[in-house]
Structure 1
Amino acid sequence: MLTMQDDKHAMAQAVHDLGSALWFGGSTMGVVGVNSAGRDLKDGSDRIRVASSAWGRFAPAQWAGIAATLLAGIQLTRVGGRRIALQKGFGTVGAAKAALAVAGAAATAYAAYCGKRIADATAEAERMGEPVDVTDATTPTERTPERIAKWQRQQRVAQFVGPVLAGANIAAGSHLVQSYRAGATAKGVLGRLLPN
């Protein structure tokens, strides 16, 4: 029979996993699909404008996924407090997972900031009648204005960091879930109680 504690844990785990899936999947699709899809368009400004518009539309969902990951992670930590104290390695992996989530959220925010700077610099170039020649939303050419190219170079790296950290957070979560198995729990508790 499920207890209230089990219900809270199951709900927090589901919210966490769904939020993480949204964050990881959306970020990965953005890198692989949205940012490079502009290559199919002829105009450099359109290549940036379309990617910027797509990211702007996805941002509320992405941030909802990140918030779900972080808030449910806090609840999972609270519900698993005894396990952190008793099971060797659980707290260490949990702390690493939390650090990955926070770093991933910061990387995602920085990637979004770079995207905003690219869009703003592109709009400025258009107002000045300056041609915007880019390969896609994150790849400059030798003719890309430097104020756009510098942010594209940063975005080119930053766009990968968020999904990598989100994926690592999911992997750490899988490790923690496996530590709930009876054998893993017993081994972890014995590891805490018995000296090596």
Structure 2
Amino acid sequence: MARCYSVPVKNRQPSLPLLWLVSDVRNDAVLETVLARLPRGSGLVFRHYHLPPAERRARLARLLRIARRRGHVVAVSGDMALARRLGADGAYGPAGVLAKGMAGVRLATAHDLRELAAGARARADAVLLSPVFPTASHPGGKAIGPLRWRLIAARSPVPVIALGGVTARRARSYRLARWAAIDGLSAPLGSSGMRR
């Protein structure tokens, strides 16, 4: 069961979920099903870089309806102005892209301690630090590893979410309380080890 924790931030309503589904061309066909089975109050990071703008907006609108029914928080890849226009709860991206001063959940991306610090300076509500494990998104890429990930995360003044090759089984084994996944929550459907 996903748990939420409150982040004391000005003018922002949603609690920040511990479990995040990240959208991608690889899991596009099963997103509705996965969103519907995620524990209430989970999160969706909507990327969908593979779609042209009009199709991307239409796809997000369909997913937002499901997310709202399930009490999920939705962050869109891009800045806060785009997130507002699309009706999302917040934005996801590199620290330099996240606009300060606008209400909404800010999720910064990071791959090392320097980028994590930039996310904190940008007043992100959380930082997605990746890749923890080898991942299909970056075949052959170097993973941080769970021990080094934990050492980096421990230095963060903001919550850190594990991303990259994380599954429910790995999250439990390595005690990763906050995690996000593409394949780890959706491919193949039903084999992620997530409790229903």
TM-score grouping bracket, smaller chain normalisation: under 0.3
Output the TM-score relative to the length of structure 2.
0.24
More helix per residue: 1
Give the greater-gyration-radius structure (CA): 1
More RCO (CA 8 Å, sep 6+): 1
More strand per residue: 2
